[in-house]
Amino acid sequence: MRLLFILAQQRRARREPARARRPHRTSSPKVCNDRYARAKLSFCIRVTYTDVVTTAQRSPARVRLLEAADQVLFERGIRDTPVDDLLRQAEVSAATLYTHFGSKDALVAEVLRVRLSDWQRVWDQHIVAAGNDLDRLLAVFDALASYRDAYGHPSRWCAFLAAASELPQAADEIGDVLAGDTALLSERLLHLSRPLAGTSAQDLANEVLVAYSGALAGFLRGSPQSPIDVGRRLARAAAQAHSRG
């Protein structure tokens, strides 16, 4: 029995080295190709995602041009600001400017259109929020304060008056926007004056318009300290005088 046990152990020992020497199974070419394709796809996805994020963080060229023009034109002067300065601030080429707007004047006109739209929206909100006829008329001053705070123009006076004073013979596009701003003020103030002044509504509207324009000029002059408050008081006094009449 002991002899049989020894022989069995010897046979097992001879089989084990053979099993250890058995070659390791390698992946087929198809498996290798699949792994390579997956790795390549993963890399491409990461690169593409990075490119998309980087692009998304940068504003479109048209927006950058409008922002650059809005920031510098009405501070330095429309004619005194070279096109190259706008291009440098917006980080665009001259070809991009002319592709989107066609000319510097067209860019100025579009900046003014955007401002006019923003201003009208803010004024609309204050008129709706007002509780009576007098507050609706005076809402133009509250709207002016809100607009300057909301749109980051605390140190500027008025882009429309600045453009009108610098370009008395404005090109058609710019002239049309300036006329639109004047019409909005004149017609809306007249409409809001009628419930208070009746047949004298035009006189009241003119007086409020002068008070409003004077408040804007006060920012340019730097005096009085609170031009909007002074303008509102003048307009209120005019409205009360016409209401008593």
Same structural domain, 74 and 193: no
Distance (Å, rounded) from C-alpha 9 to C-alpha 12? 5
Same structural domain, 134 and 235: yes
Same structural domain, 49 and 124: no
Same structural domain, 133 and 186: yes
Range with the poorest average pLDDT among 50-54, 70-74, 105-109, 230-234: 50-54
**Domain termination site, one of 65, 85, 102:** 102
Termini Cα distance of the chain? 137
**Domain with 92 in it:** 44-102
State pLDDT tens for residues 171-219. Answer: 689 999 999 999 999 999 999 999 999 999 999 999 999 999 999 999 9
What is the average pLDDT value for the chain, to the nearest integer? 82
Distance (Å, rounded) from C-alpha 205 to C-alpha 181? 15
Is 85 or 13 the better-scoring residue by pLDDT?
A: 85
Same structural domain, 192 and 236: yes
Instruction: Report how far Cα 238 is from the mean position of its chain's Cα atoms.
Output: 37
Cβ–Cβ under 8 Å, residues 238 and 204: yes
Report if residue 18 sits inside a domain. no
Report if residue 39 sits inside a domain. no
Report if residue 30 sits inside a domain. no
Task: Write the single-letter amino acid at 226.
Answer: S
Predicted confidence band at 52 (pLDDT cuts at 50, 70, 90)?
very low
pLDDT for 172 equals 84
Predicted confidence band at 9 (pLDDT cuts at 50, 70, 90)?
low
Same structural domain, 185 and 124: yes
- pTM for the whole structure: 0.73
pLDDT for 75 equals 81
Q: Which of 139, 144, 135 is nearest to 195 (CA)?
A: 135
Same structural domain, 119 and 235: yes
What single-letter DSSP state applies at residue 167? -
Distance (Å, rounded) from C-alpha 171 to C-alpha 16? 98
